Structure 1
Amino acid sequence: MNKERKNNILIIEDEDSIRKFIRINLERNNFTVFEAGSGEEGIEIVRKENVNVVILDIMLPGIDGYEVCKILRKECAQIGIIMLTAKSQDIDKITGLEYGTDDYMAKPFNPIELVLRVKSLVRRMEFHLHDKSGVESDGPFKIDSYARKFYKDGREIELTPTEYSIIKLFMENSGKAFSRDEILNIVWGYDFVGDTKIVDVNIRRLRAKLEDDPSDPQIIDTVWGVGYRWAINKK
């Protein structure tokens, strides 16, 4: 991510009033804002512009937000995605997270909280951009902090910004058990307002990418009553 990119936010929302509402609050906080009224339009903007965070509504004309998220993750894994839902049911949040979103907010939402969520996501992405601590290996896994890349058996594994942050935390603290709250505070930040389910879903996504058998995890252990740990060397 270059200097020109770090403050570029794309809003994909079909309701003009909501887009304007979000845009005003982001611009007040010195973000450059792009707008799209459909998923197809939003995808084209991402392909043409230096966007690093997308605020994405689920309910869109044409392809919905889930499909947009799927396409963006395939084409640009490192982009940050915050999904908006008109419903408060957990199923909407969990489905969005399963598709690869970094965060979610239910409508109606507090604009100040949305801006804080965007800032938190940008900070996480920028932190890893400036981390030049080098390459660390553990078994078949290697993380290159300078290039912000992660490998298994020499093959690059595409990670979202949030997944990368979790993996980096685990690999730097191999064998240490982290509670869900600790992971939330370290990865999402102390100003995150949400529940710990977001941790569980990200762990599930990581297991699908890293484990030979995600149903019998050998790399990311569940520590019952606590949380999770990087357990590649536990045996």
Structure 2
Amino acid sequence: MSGPRKHILVVEDDESITLGLRMNLEAEGYDVTVAEDGDIALELAGSGRFSLIVMDVMLPKMNGFEVVRRLRDGGSVVPIVMLSARGAEMDKVMGLELGAEDYITKPFSLAEFLARVKAVLRRDAIARPNKRRVVEAGDLRVDLDTREVTRDDQLVELTPTEFDLLVCLVEAGGKVLSRGEILTRVWGPGHHGTLRTIDNFVLQLRNKLEKDPSEPNHLLTVRGVGYRFQA
């Protein structure tokens, strides 16, 4: 797979299915994050860093139909592929009318699943070839599609995790995010790292992106709460 690695969010509570999907998607060159229920899916999807969401219908806390509805009502345009053992025509119609790009009925072959994922991503790229998602903030330019960051027109090399953390803060639109929120959105709900991990990565980003890391203009600390991005 050429070009920047695409990041896929898999929302599925069945561990055996999740394992199979993750292994095969990663083998195809995709980065994968997993959410086990609808609430976590909504929180992660809000980070804006995913190229596609694979959404099971039968989920704990909030079903997949409701998650899709809320994402679309909130303005999200990320492509969604729904998975379900519910193969009734009305369920398929509901998923598609809510805004999903495809609906796959379980059981399915992994070859078919991967082919459909590629087809949805291909259609999405054709449908919006010039609609690049770019955020500009003073001397910084963040291209969410190519995963490139420049400062004063000079390319800045970021690790995948550093870039995901930056996008998480940028997509919050100036809102303060707690360290716990950042940990969940960037590393996923199953990560066992400490909150100090966030501080270390923010420090690394400041050293790469701020003209004066000791007096940051963009990556701001909100004492006792967390961090926010200032354009």
**Aligning the two structures, in what range does the TM-score lie when normalised by the shorter sequence?**
0.5 to 0.7
Matched residues in 1 for 2:37 and 2:132: separation?
33
How far does residue 52 in structure 1 lie from its aligned partner after superposition?
1.9
Q: How far, CA to CA, are the matches of 1:104 and 1:65 in structure 2?
A: 11
- Tell me the residue number matched to 1:120: 119
1:122-176 CA-to-partner distances (Å, cap 9, x unmatched) read 1112223435xxxxxxxxxxxxxx579xxxxxxxxxxxxxxxxxxxxxxxxxxxx
> For 1:140-219, what aligned pairs fall within 5 Å after superposition?
146=131
Counterpart amino acid of 1:75? G
Q: How does 1:1-235 map to 2 (within 5 A)?
A: 4=4, 7-131=6-130, 146=131
Percent of pairs identical after alignment? 34
Shift of 1:49: 4.9
Mapped partners of 2:126, 2:119: distance in 1: 11
Greater than 4 Å deviation, 4+ residue runs: none
Shift in Å at residue 98 of structure 1?
Answer: 1.8
Tell me the distance in 1 between the aligned counterparts of 2:37 and 2:75. Answer: 18
The whole-number CA distance in structure 2 between the counterparts of 1:88 and 1:47 is 29
What residue identity is the alignment partner of 1:103? D
Q: What amino acid is aligned across from residue 45 of structure 1 in structure 2?
A: L
Q: Distance in 1 between matches of 2:95 and 2:38?
A: 15
Residue ranges of structure 1 left out of the alignment (5+ in a row)? 132-145, 149-235
| 2:202 equivalent in structure 1 | none
Deviation larger for 40-49 or 101-110? 40-49
Q: Amino acid of the residue matched to residue 22 of structure 1?
A: L
How many pairs are equivalent?
Answer: 131
Partner of 1:193: none
Match of 1:26, SS state, is helix
Supply the distance in 2 between the matched residues of 1:119 and 1:11 (Cα, whole angstroms).
Answer: 15
Q: 1:44 to 1:30 in 2, by over 3 A?
A: same
- Change in Cα spacing, 1:147 to 1:53, as seen in structure 2 (3 Å) is closer
Distance 1:147 1:29, change over 3 A: closer
Q: Helix, strand or coil: the match of 1:48?
A: coil
TM-score, normalised on structure 1? 0.52
Q: What is the root-mean-square deviation of aligned Cα atoms in Å?
A: 1.9
